[in-house]
Amino acid sequence: MDARVDKPDNANFPIAIIGAGFSGLGMAIRLKQAGIESFTLFERADEVGGTWRDNAYPGAACDVSSHLYSFSFEQKPDWSRAFAEQPEIQQYILELTEKHGLRSHVRFNTEIVKAVFDQGSGLWTLYDRAGQHWRARALISGTGGLSDPKIPEIEGLEHFEGPMFHTARWDAACDLRGKRVAVIGSGASAIQVVPAIAPEVAELKVFQRTPPWIMPKMDRPMREAEKRRYRRFPPALWLRRLWLYWAAELRAPLLISNRPLFKRLLRRLALRHIQSQVSDPALRQRVIPDYNVGCKRVLISNDWYPALQRENVSLIDQGVKAVTSHGVVASDGSEHDVDVIVLATGFNTPTAAAPLDIRGLGGVTLNEAWRNGSEAYKGVTVSGFPNLFLLVGPNTGPGHTSVLVYLEKQLDYVMQALGYMRRHRLKYLNVLPEVQKDFNDWLQARMQDTVWVAGGCDSWYITEDGKNTSLYPGFATDYRLRVSRFRPAEYQRVALPGQSSDSTTRPVTDAA
């Protein structure tokens, strides 16, 4: 598919990208590859990397194979491990940034807090926290789904007198050696940080409210011979990627569906992992979840259960009732004095809110449009918010594979849309409400059979009204096919002055 965008008219087609993580940088690379330089990345921090810049806690690693958790158009032959750790992924991102000359396009330390669409000009105005503003024809949001740490509402949290920080805001200056540490949470971040810090702290109290299902991690260092082969013979690297992609696709029904047969099979595998790693029957019972495998994210680890059995580690399988000046009070009233608290409590997700104050046609905010949960057409465009493109938007997260394989197709889709706008000198494109509604009705109907909705747990995937607005209920291949072609007829197309608007302003519903 042709993702080329016509040669830019820099003056008339400025593009704003919010966020310089995988999404924003991927978008920038695709623009540059198409010869487009008229874009700016707005980044609130002082470095690129997004998630992989922020999540620098000890033990941070990706739980998706590195050869799939990287861009297909920028494959890396020499990953050091099958599942790379955070520093290596951040290094990969930094190298991409330099290689494609992206740094000069980034406005660092610039947090866009508001974006307002003007119907007359078809331009977005972006405002940063300091009150500066910029104009752009297209606004591309690459803010990521998991970028704002969730600080839990626990009574007395603010009164704790020792160091307290979130995993995504790790305080590297805080020396944990010999300290008594509490980790609140037992999700994807906690199961990585606990084994990493357990050997150095004096005492570690792990507050687990809900146990996760955990599978063995098939990690290993990559052999020098493999790296050499991938470097010298790139098709071998493609083959590895292809194998990883299809292996994940084959697992998809097992993980996504709530069919009893699939769930029994996965449960048996996960229980075997617990049995092989936990000798104490009482502890086994405390780490076995009471919901179906896959309802919350399935985690992979070989060192979480061993860490819980260390002499200096105790598992408190209670919610947290309060925090005092010197420790944590569990729901059963037991008090645990600690020197440091680590919040491994996850993120505020877009199920709850728009990434920033975005105002579309008629001044309607994205939060108002999303009052019943976030939704978009194919996860990318939102009716009433012309020329706005979301990367890794609503319902485009995978439960079984790499988010980057979804993202790459979204980049192609945005490129096609921008190309269409350029060729037809459009003022704006606005996805038709009925097109968005049909897509989401179909998606939510399909969602009802998934383990995320029917698996018997609470998770960050689901809104308070029980709607999953985070994940895509199907194969990655299915999503990729659906998003592979930009269909102009699904959009209201409004031309710039002087252009014939007849063919472009009239809403047309796609017959396909």
Q: Where are the beta strands (DSSP E) in 23-128?
A: 39-42, 106-107, 112-118, 123-128
186 vs 257, beta carbon nearer ligand NAP: 186
Tell me the window of 183-191, 273-281, 373-381, 415-423 that interacts with ligand NAP (CB under 6 A).
183-191
Q: In DSSP terms, which residues pair with 397 in a beta bridge?
A: 471
Which tokens hold the place of 75?
């494959």
320 vs 392, beta carbon nearer ligand NAP: 320
Provide Rg for the chain, Cα atoms: 24
In total, the chain counts a number of residues equal to: 512
Residue 154 as a binder of ligand NAP (CB under 6 A): the answer is: yes
Q: Please state the closest distance from residue 407 (CB atom) to ligand NAP, in A.
A: 14
Residue 404 as a binder of ligand NAP (CB under 6 A): the answer is: no
Among 41, 62, 369, 388, binds ligand NAP (CB under 6 A): 62
Residue 455 as a binder of ligand NAP (CB under 6 A): the answer is: no
Give backbone dihedrals phi and psi of 148, rounded to 5 degrees, phi first. Answer: -105, 110
Residue 210 as a binder of ligand NAP (CB under 6 A): the answer is: yes
Contact between 60 and 49 (Cβ < 8 Å): no
Which residue reads 């050696």 in tokens? 177
Round to whole Å and give the CA distance between 312 and 66.
33
Give backbone dihedrals phi and psi of 504, rounded to 5 degrees, phi first. Answer: -115, -20
65 vs 430, beta carbon nearer ligand NAP: 65
Q: Please state the closest distance from residue 404 (CB atom) to ligand NAP, in A.
A: 11
Among 189, 396, 401, 416, binds ligand NAP (CB under 6 A): 189
Give backbone dihedrals phi and psi of 4, rounded to 5 degrees, phi first. Answer: -75, 140
Residue 52 as a binder of ligand NAP (CB under 6 A): the answer is: no
Which tokens hold the place of 371?
């009052």
Among 44, 137, 180, 209, binds ligand NAP (CB under 6 A): 209
Tell me the window of 84-92, 203-211, 241-249, 483-491 that interacts with ligand NAP (CB under 6 A).
203-211
Tell me the window of 86-94, 101-109, 180-188, 485-493 that interacts with ligand NAP (CB under 6 A).
180-188
How many residues touch ligand NAP under the rule CB under 6 A: the total is 24
Round to whole Å and give the CA distance between 95 and 362.
42
Q: Please state the closest distance from residue 122 (CB atom) to ligand NAP, in A.
A: 36
Residue 185 as a binder of ligand NAP (CB under 6 A): the answer is: yes
Q: Distance between alpha carbon 334 and the CA centroid of its chain, in Å?
A: 36
User: What is the torsion angle, in degrees rounded to the nearest 10, for the CA atoms of residue 304, residue 308, residue 314 and residue 315?
Assistant: 60
Among 41, 93, 184, 476, binds ligand NAP (CB under 6 A): 184
Round to whole Å and give the CA distance between 76 and 396.
25
How many helices (H) and strands (E) are present in the chain, helices listed first?
Answer: 15, 23
Residues between 91 and 150 that touch ligand NAP (CB under 6 A): 146
The residue number with the shortest CB distance to ligand NAP is: 187
Q: Please state the closest distance from residue 387 (CB atom) to ligand NAP, in A.
A: 29
Residues between 268 and 297 that touch ligand NAP (CB under 6 A): 297
Among 162, 163, 306, 319, binds ligand NAP (CB under 6 A): 319
Contact between 18 and 142 (Cβ < 8 Å): yes
Round to whole Å and give the CA distance between 169 and 450.
33
Which residue reads 């995504």 in tokens? 168
Among 24, 195, 346, 399, binds ligand NAP (CB under 6 A): 346
- Euclidean distance between the first and final Cα of the chain, in Å? 18
Site for ligand NAP, rule CB under 6 A: 61-63, 146, 152, 154, 184-190, 207, 209-210, 297, 319-320, 344-347, 460
